[in-house]
Amino acid sequence: MKIVIGLSLSLSGEYAAMGRQAEAAIRLFAADANSLGDLRLGGDRCEFEVDCRDDRSDPVRCAEIYGELCADPRVALIFGPYSNRLARVAAPIAEDAGKVFINHGGAGSAFHERGHRMAVSVLSPASDYFRGFVRLCSGLKLWRKRIAIVSSKLEFAREVAGGLEAAVNERAARRHGVRIRVKWNGDFDPEATPETLFPALKRNHVNVLASAGSYEHDVAVVRSVVESPLSIPVVGCVAAAVQRFRTDLGEMAEGIVGPSQWEETLDITPELGPRPVEFARRMREAGYEPDYPAAQVYAAGLVTAAALRAAGSLDQARIREAFSDLRSTTLFGDFAIDRVTGRQTGHSMLLIQWHNGRKMIIEPEVHAEQGSIQFPPGVRLLLAGAEMIKLSRRDHTDDDEEDDSNPD
């Protein structure tokens, strides 16, 4: 029996770099599953076939593709596209068609909150991205942790920034002196924005900065901050999780922190599928440097196969129910969803830092493998000692008012 997985991925356009490696990963999953040959439905041996179409990073084209896939009786499984922007377009089309929507590429929570009950997310929601960053800041040896959030107007960026703000407002963070002092929401123009934004950062004695937006937004923010005379020892951004970040920024990437859905150095023995390091090796053999989009879609394949075994059929309602009951671990980490919304609840975000040209996992704290760096307790960022002393001796007074005036 052939089980056709239908999806669009951005093989060209803005998201092409991520889309191409995701395509390679889903095809690798299908090949692996077919070689094992252990999936049977109704006594019949099943094989996966991938119908992947190029959405060209275009929401209109994406909608057309999912309309076609959901109407095609050959297509048994609907996987989402890469990026929150496109997943938001595709999810309601699958919902209207009564198809389970296996979301591996959109971290936004909007379609879960809008009652799309057939959606199943593999990855953690955007609102969780910077929670580990806030916990890390809470433990730093600074008298006050004055945070600036520099976010774009994208819905994804708003969710990331909102999650960070919620984490800062929790009792544990406030007890350790963590405060938001500046919030910037808008386009970041490297030529014009610093003239307005940077004085606000200096005036509010900001010593922690978090950037959330598109890849280009984050790179522009980090480059501008590092090249400026500002003294901000702790800088984090979403884009830091991808390998390209170090290539584009070079030495400027050193010390930058970022939230990560997945790392190949994650020490885990999965219940389903290969270990992270084995998956990464095989992706490289296929010609791709593996980032989280590849791991996410491969993991989506693994948990979908498990849900099919539990459901015992291709009935969409039974598959959705099987996903609700599934608790397992893949190379991507733990999997569990909210029964009603389909939002991911089992997976935990990682926090990484660039050091000597490599990404190091700094939260959760892990036993480092031979040859890797051990971070001392409480100071897991590589901060200059002199800078730490200077910041800790600054004026200890700190009114709790933040600079709400958006300099945009």
- Counting other chains too, the contacts that 392-397 makes at CB distance below 8 Å and 24 or more residues apart are 392/141, 392/142, 392/143, 393/143, 394/143, 394/144, 394/205, 395/205, 396/143, 396/144
DSSP state of 333: E
Q: What is the pLDDT of residue 365?
A: 54
Q: What is the pLDDT along the chain (408 residues), one digit of tens a residue?
A: 999 999 999 999 999 999 999 999 999 999 999 999 999 998 899 999 999 999 999 999 999 999 999 999 999 999 999 999 999 999 999 999 999 999 999 998 877 887 789 999 999 999 999 999 999 999 887 778 999 999 999 999 999 999 999 999 999 999 999 999 999 999 999 999 999 999 999 999 999 999 999 999 999 999 999 999 998 999 999 999 999 999 999 999 999 999 999 999 998 999 999 999 999 999 999 999 899 999 999 999 999 999 999 999 999 999 999 999 999 999 999 999 999 999 999 999 999 999 999 999 998 854 333 323 333 333 334 343 333 333 333 333 344 445 544 554
Q: What is the pLDDT of residue 144?
A: 87
Rounded Cα gap, residues 142 and 390, in angstroms:
9
pTM of the full structure: 0.87
Q: What is the pLDDT of residue 115?
A: 77
Asked if residues 151 and 184 have their Cβ atoms less than 8 Å apart, the reply is: yes
Alpha-carbon distance values, 136 to 131, 160, 166, 301 (Å): 9, 17, 15, 33
Domains of the chain and CATH, by start: 2-124+264-344 (3.40.50.2300), 128-260+351-392 (3.40.50.2300)
| Residue keyed to tokens 């959760």 | 364
Q: What is the pLDDT of residue 248?
A: 96
Residues 6+ apart with CB under 8 A from 278: 331
Q: What is the pLDDT of residue 384?
A: 36
Work out the number of other CB atoms within 10 angstroms of the CB of residue 169.
13
Asked if residues 234 and 208 have their Cβ atoms less than 8 Å apart, the reply is: yes
| Residue keyed to tokens 């004085």 | 199
Q: Which of 1, 127, 27, 12 is nearest to 58 (CA)?
A: 12
Q: For the chain, how far is it from start to end, CA to CA, in angstroms?
A: 57
